[in-house]
Structure 1
Amino acid sequence: MDAPLYLTAYLAIGALAGLLAGLLGVGGGLVIVPGLTVVLAARGMPADALVHTAVGTSLAVITVTSVASTHAHHRMGRVNWGRVRRLAPGLAAGAVAGAALARLLPGGGLRLAVGLFELVVALRIAVQPRLVPAETAPRGPESPLVGGAIGTLSALVGIGGGTLTVPYLLRRRVGIHEAIATSAACGLPIALAGTLGFVAFGWHDPQAAGLGYVLLPAFLPVAAGSMVMAPLGARLAHRLSGLVLKRVFAVFLAGAGVLMLAG
Structure 2
Amino acid sequence: MVLSEEAEAFLRLLRGERFYKPPFWEPWFAMPEFFRRRYGDPDRVENKIRMAYDLGMAAINLGSIDINAHFRRDQVARNGQSRYAGGSLAGFHQLESLELPDWREIINKWKEDQKRIEAAGLLSWITLPWCFHTIATAMGHKNFFIKLYREPGFIEAAFDWVEERSRRAIDTVVREVKPSFVLLDGDCAYKGGLMIDPKVFRRLVYRRTEETVSRLRRLGIPYVFHTDGKLDDAIPILIELGFSAVHGCERTPMI
**TM-score under structure 2 normalisation?**
0.30
**TM-score under structure 1 normalisation?**
0.29
Higher strand proportion (structure 1 or 2):
2
Considering only CA atoms, is the larger Rg found in Structure 1 or Structure 2?
2
Higher RCO, Cα 8 Å, sep 6+:
1
